[in-house]
Structure 1
Amino acid sequence: MHWLWFILIGAAAGWLAGLLVKGRGLGCLGNILLGIVGGVLGGWIFRQLELKPAGTFVTAFAGAFVILLVANLVSRK
């Protein structure tokens, strides 16, 4: 059951980050992968800044948002 929540939160965080940065989602699998990787990156970022995240969704969203921003900067050059 834990993995189901992990996937659902990752999908929602990836979809919202894609919507805000790109103006659209990345597809079901893309949103899930982005959210899961974003959760790992977001957790690392919050630990480095010595901040306690507000929750799993916020952490995954923050990481996914950063991933998409960096991807946009790299792809423009």
Structure 2
Amino acid sequence: MKKCYFCRGEIQEQSVDVIRKRKGQVFIMEDVPALVCQRCGERYYTAEVARTMDEKIAEGINKTKRVISVPILSFDVDYAAS
């Protein structure tokens, strides 16, 4: 069984959602095959999966499955310090 590089936890195959940002545009890819650490949550992708994600992002908005609206929050450093 494979172990996580960071915490030595067990990793298992799972389908995950991946969020990526490119040129100011956010993309969410669903059902991406990954190896996921069951302890710390670190994700590992095969070279083929990583390449496919890059290609899909490069294709961009012309091939989207659907469009959603997402609220954007700003991290306020002054608020976090209080």
Is TM more than 0.5 here?
no
Q: Which has the larger radius of gyration?
A: 2
Name the TM-score, length of structure 1 as normaliser.
0.25
Asked which structure has the greater RCO (Cα within 8 Å, sep 6+), the reply is 1
Q: Which has the higher helix share?
A: 1
